[in-house]
Amino acid sequence: MSADAILVCPKCLKNTVEQLSTAIKDLEDSYANIPIKEYNQKKDKVESLIDKVANPDKNLLEYYEISINTRGNFFVSYGCRCEVCNFQFSFTHLQNVLPEDK
Ligand SMILES: [Zn+2]
């Protein structure tokens, strides 16, 4: 069995959460210290990042294969790569799972 999927990238989501945290602090620090137009732009940025955290883009291409053959060799291969931040991870495992003859 093999499959491909497109998921939310954990690294991109972490980056967005950090951007949101910075933007909130920037908004709080600038309250009453900057023109209202500039404050509203910062507020719009916070709201945009809140939306992005709540509905993150799916940029992580995931592919995996899992099988067992007639000789009892179990095989699993997993890989993923983000198109935006280049985060990637891979894992492969091969093991004979037949009990030994006694
Ligand atoms: Zn990413």
Instruction: Name the residue ranges covered by the structural domains of the chain.
Output: 2-96
How many A from CA of 31 to the centre of ligand 1? 32
How many A from CA of 42 to the centre of ligand 1? 24
> In which band, very low, low, confident or very high, does the pLDDT at 11 lie, cut at 50, 70 and 90?
very high
pLDDT value of residue 102: 73
Residue-wise pLDDT for 34-48, tens only, equals 999 999 999 999 999
Q: Measuring CA to CA, which residue among 16, 6, 4, 14 is closest to residue 60?
A: 6
In this structure, the dihedral spanned by the alpha carbons of residues 37, 41, 42 and 44, taken in order and rounded to 10 degrees, is: 130
How many A from CA of 43 to the centre of ligand 1? 25
**Chain mean pLDDT for the chain:** 95
How many A from CA of 9 to the centre of ligand 1? 5
How many A from CA of 57 to the centre of ligand 1? 9
> In which band, very low, low, confident or very high, does the pLDDT at 2 lie, cut at 50, 70 and 90?
confident
pLDDT greater than 90 at residue 50: yes
